[in-house]
Amino acid sequence: MDAGHVPVLFGEALEYLGIRPGGTYVDATFGGGGHSRGILDRLTSGRLIAFDADPQARERCRDFPAERFTLVNANFRELDHRLDELGVAAIDGILYDLGVSSMQLDVAERGMSFREEAPLDMRLDPTTGPTAADMLGTLSERELAQVIFEYGQERAARRIARAIVRRRDEGRLPATTTALAALISGVLHRYGHRERIHPATRTFQALRIAVNDELNALQESLVQATDRLVEGGRIVVISFHSLEDKIVKEHFRSDRRLEVLTRKPVTPSEAEQQANPRARSSKLRAARKLEETP
C-alpha cells in the first residue's frame, strides 16, 4: 500500500463485500491498492481483477501475486468488455472507491489540484480525451456555467463562467491550475469573509467530473456490475459527494435484482475522520444480488 494512501472505510467495505475465499472479485478503483490488498488477504483459491484508468497504477502493484491478481488499465465503464476479454462470466463481488486518489492529487502535472502550478489537464487517463483546458477553450458561457453548477454545486457558476469566457475573449484564458484558481478567487472573494474551503474547490471538482465523464461512467458500470453478479454477490460503493451517492442510491433502489444492505449509508467513525481527513465526506452503500426469477 502506498504510504500516503489510506483506504477509506477499509474494514466496513470488506465486511459488506462478504468475501468468499474461492470467489472472483473486482476492485473497480485500484488507486493505491489498499482495498485490493485487503481482498487478496481474504482469498485462497479466488481471484481479484482490479481496474484503474491511470497508466501509473501498474507501478503500484508489482508485488501483487500474479496467479491471483490481474490489473486492467481501463475505466470501470468498460467492465463488461474487459471481463469478456479475460473470460470472466460472473463475479462474486465488486468494490468502488470513487473520486480521485491521493496519488493523483499529489502529482502536480495531472492538474487535479491548485496547490501547485500545473497545466489544466485533469484526465484520470492522461493518454486520451480532451483536457480541462480544452473544455475551457471550447464551451459556451452557458455550457460552462451548467457544468460548474451541476457537477460542482456552485451557486456562483454563472459569474465564474462569465469571467472565464471574458478572459478567453481577451486572449488571456488561464493556462494553469493556479491561474484559474486565482481568477475564481477574484470573482468570489468577499472582503472580511473567511471561506471554509478554497473558492475554486467546487469549480475544479466540476471540471474534473466533466473531463472524465465520471457520473455517466458510474451509472453504466453499476448496471454492468449488477448483470455480472452471481446470486448472493455484492456491490459495495464508497462515494465522496452527493452526486455520486445519489446515483448509487437510486440504482440500488430501482434495480429489483438487488437487496439493499445499508438502510442508511455507513459513515466513518470519529477516530477515522481524525486520522484521515479525506474520509469525512465518505459514505458507503452496499447491496446483494437476489435470486434470478424466471
Evaluate if pTM is beyond 0.75. yes
More confident residue, 100 or 102: 100
Amino acid at 183: L
**Judgement on whether residues 123 and 207 belong to the same structural domain of the protein:** yes
Tell me: the pLDDT tens digits for 254-294? Answer: 999 999 999 999 999 999 999 988 888 999 999 999 987 65
Based on the fold, state whether residues 26 and 70 are members of the same structural domain. Answer: yes
Apex 233 CA angle, 231 and 236, nearest 5: 150
Give the Cα-Cα-Cα angle 282, 214, 235 (nearest 5 degrees). 55
Question: Do residues 39 and 125 both lie within one domain?
Answer: no
The answer to whether 27 and 47 have CB atoms below 8 angstroms apart is no
Q: Which of 194, 212, 230 is the last residue of a domain?
A: 212
Least confident of 36-40, 100-104, 151-155: 100-104
- The pLDDT confidence band at residue 212, using thresholds 50, 70 and 90, is very high
* Per-residue pLDDT band at 101 (split at 50, 70, 90): low
The verdict on residue 1 lying in a domain is no
Which three cell numbers, joined as nine digits, stand for 267? Answer: 459513515
Q: CATH number of the domain that 179 lies in?
A: 1.10.150.170
Residue 4 inside a domain? The answer is no
Q: Which pLDDT belongs to residue 125?
A: 86
pLDDT at 35: 95
| Among 272, 275, 236, 197, CA closest to 97 | 236
For residue 1, pLDDT over 50 is answered with no
What's 70's domain CATH number? 3.40.50.150
pLDDT on residue 99? 77
Whole-angstrom Cα distance, residue 156 to residue 159? 5
Residue-wise pLDDT for 41-88, tens only, equals 999 999 999 999 988 888 889 899 999 999 999 999 999 999 999 999
Nearest in space to 147 (alpha carbons), one of 202, 195, 106, 104? 202
What is residue 102's predicted lDDT score, i.e. its pLDDT?
53
Q: What sign does the CA torsion over 147, 152, 158, 160 have?
A: negative
* Residue 110, pLDDT score: 56
What is the pLDDT at residue 59? 87
Output the CA–CA distances (angstroms, integers) from residue 60 to 35, 49, 74, in the order listed.
13, 14, 15
Helix (H) or strand (E) holding 10: helix 10-17
Reply yes or no on whether the pLDDT at 106 is more than 60: no
Same domain, 141 and 206: yes
pLDDT digits (tens, 9 = 90+) for 125-175: 888 889 999 999 999 999 999 999 999 999 999 999 999 999 999 999 999
d(CA 212, CA 128): 10
DSSP H helices in 42-156: 79-86, 102-106, 132-138, 141-152
- How many domains in the chain? 2
Lowest mean pLDDT among 107-111, 184-188, 198-202: 107-111
- Position 132 scores a pLDDT of 95
134 and 189 fall within a common domain: yes
Residue 29 belongs to domain spanning: 10-103+214-289
Lowest mean pLDDT among 91-105, 123-137, 234-248: 91-105
Q: With cut-offs at 50, 70 and 90, classify the pLDDT of residue 107.
A: low
Interatomic CA distance for residues 285 and 267, integer angstroms: 9
The shares of helix, strand and coil residues in the chain, as percent rounded to the nearest 5, are: 45, 15, 40
pLDDT value at residue 57: 86
Domain assignment present for residue 3? The answer is no
Could you report the per-residue pLDDT of 167-198, keeping only the tens digit for each? 999 999 999 999 999 999 999 876 545 567 88
Q: What pLDDT, on a 0 to 100 scale, did the predictor assign at position 3?
A: 39
Report the C-alpha gap between 183 and 164 in whole angstroms.
8
